[in-house]
Structure 1
Amino acid sequence: MGLEITNLTGGYSRVPVIKDLNFTVPEATIVGLIGLNGAGKSTTIKHIIGLLTPQKGEIRLNGLSLAEKPEAYRQALAYVPETPILYQELTLREHIDLTIMAYDLNHDEAWQRANQLLDKFRLSKRLDWFPANFSKGMQQKVMIVCAFITQASLYIIDEPFTGLDPLAVRDLLQVIAAEKVRGAAVLMSTHVLATAQQAADQFILLNQGKITGQGSLVELQTQYNLPTGNLDDIYFKMTDVANS
């Protein structure tokens, strides 16, 4: 069923940052969330993962709201933040075990997936390392491994390419594509528009807390009257129109 956002309004105070957002992230679909700094991307994500409570509107994942079924909602969702959040006193192995327990995963099956991801991201010999031993890029890979062993219904990925080398970016895109084939929904916020255009099926353009365009690249080309434009061209036109 995927993610369904209806009339979502919210922020950090009584003054809303995002206003009346309506969009879906269907199963087996990658949606790129695009916008300037301060457009409302992170605020939108924080509402979806439950760090902020909507002032108005509704968020449903596979038909469930966080308020109705908090455990089922959270277990259907995996999140890769822009800045890695790791426990300094836990090794990589312990981070994986903690994820398995938190999501109530089958231990052996989850470790089989983890080992495949560890090999792909060249972390298999780092299982007993602590976060202090990892570079920022390696810490981001730990977050990616922990997220994708869950086989969640929805992945929320916030600026996933920050700190990753080109090989890791390629590997991450392969993992995302495989999860899409499995049937997962993916909402990906990124400033790397060429990569977003390559990876995503649909796009949501945010500006000043409102959706200014959404759909496939072809649909956005029509909306912005750029029949041969790429996502960069559309993005620049969106900001020019907003600032005019």
Structure 2
Amino acid sequence: MNNITIKIKSAGYLDDPEVIKDIQFTLRQGELVGLIGANGAGKSTTMRAMMGLLPKFEGTVSLDDIRYAYIPEHPIFYDELTLWEHLEFATAAFHLEKWEARANTLLTRFQLDHVKHDLPTGFSKGMRQKVMLVLAFLLKPELYIIDEPFIGLDPRSTKELLNMILEEKERGAAIFMSTHVLDTAEKICDRILLVSGGTLIAQGTLAHLRERSQLPNGSLLDCFDRLLEAVES
């Protein structure tokens, strides 16, 4: 996979065409980039803009030749398909063969093997989130776009998700993930993007953000607060 450069001059909806603006960054093979910001800062909108899901968009993003998997914050399922039938549908769409063994391994890792023939529409929030994770990891794409993956996950599943992310990084996949769990982002992200008011206010490694915020030993939360105060003042 070549580097993916995202240049968003503006993007939004019919009634608000500039929800986000002036956002530019690059995703590289084998790298985890974290996207952080307050509620309403534009994180989910940035992801939708990347995938061409917004009615208003001005900029350049090219994912045409890249297999990617999107894990939304709010899982969506077909009402009449079981968990296993969702896996069958996804693998057929991507023309994957000999996927059953990997699917069963993932279901076991995320503690879903006992409900694989049940309807996900009746699952708890955490279980529904894990189904989306299994679907994404089963496809083994070149790029993961993950929106708030830790919401609703129990500690064991959170650990398993982090292990899977590290495995996919080692495989060479690029991972773009938004999260409010800043202590986790601080530990696992190679680079971090800070957004506020629909605009990118800073990006770089934690060391870079510490230097820019003049907090040599600051946590990611400390740096984010300092940089946000500078923008708002």
Q: 1:27 to 1:54 in 2, by over 3 A?
A: farther
Code of the residue aligned with 2:9 in structure 1: it is L
- Residue 12 of structure 1 is matched in structure 2 by 13
- Residue 26 of structure 2 is matched in structure 1 by 24
| Deviation digits for residues 147-177 of structure 1 (CA, Å, limit 9, x no counterpart) | 1111111100000000001111110010011
Give the Cα separation in 1 of the matches to 2:8 and 2:46. Answer: 12
Give the Cα separation in 2 of the matches to 1:29 and 1:53. Answer: 29
Secondary structure at the counterpart of residue 215 of structure 2? coil
Give the Cα separation in 2 of the matches to 1:82 and 1:55. Answer: 22
Q: Alpha-carbon deviation of 1:54?
A: 5.2
After superposition, the CA RMSD in angstroms is: 1.4
Contact 1:8 1:54 in 2 (8 A): no
Code of the residue aligned with 1:21 in structure 2: it is I
Give the Cα separation in 2 of the matches to 1:103 and 1:40. Answer: 30
Give the Cα separation in 2 of the matches to 1:60 and 1:51. Answer: 13
- Residue 35 of structure 2 is matched in structure 1 by 33
TM-score by length of 2: 0.94
- Residue 95 of structure 1 is matched in structure 2 by 86
Q: Alpha-carbon deviation of 1:55?
A: 2.9
- Residue 138 of structure 2 is matched in structure 1 by 149
Secondary structure at the counterpart of residue 17 of structure 1? strand
- Residue 105 of structure 1 is matched in structure 2 by 96
Structure 1 runs not aligned, ≥5 long: 65-71
TM-score by length of 1: 0.90
Aligned length: 231
What does 1:62-73 align with in structure 2 at a 5 Å threshold? 64=64, 72-73=65-66
Code of the residue aligned with 1:50 in structure 2: it is G
Note if 1:3 corresponds to 2:4.
yes
Contact 1:158 1:189 in 2 (8 A): yes
Note if 1:80 corresponds to 2:71.
yes
Q: Alpha-carbon deviation of 1:7?
A: 4.1
| Deviation digits for residues 1-51 of structure 1 (CA, Å, limit 9, x no counterpart) | 142102432111354111121101111000000111111111111111221
Secondary structure at the counterpart of residue 11 of structure 1? strand
Q: 1:116 to 1:151 in 2, by over 3 A?
A: same
Note if 1:241 corresponds to 2:206.
no
Code of the residue aligned with 2:151 in structure 1: it is T
Structure 2 runs not aligned, ≥5 long: none
Code of the residue aligned with 1:169 in structure 2: it is T
Note if 1:194 corresponds to 2:196.
no
> How much identity, in percent, do the aligned residues show?
45
Secondary structure at the counterpart of residue 115 of structure 2? coil
Give the Cα separation in 1 of the matches to 2:82 and 2:132. Answer: 13
Contact 1:10 1:17 in 2 (8 A): yes
- Residue 215 of structure 1 is matched in structure 2 by 204
Give the Cα separation in 2 of the matches to 1:192 and 1:153. Answer: 24
Secondary structure at the counterpart of residue 173 of structure 1? helix
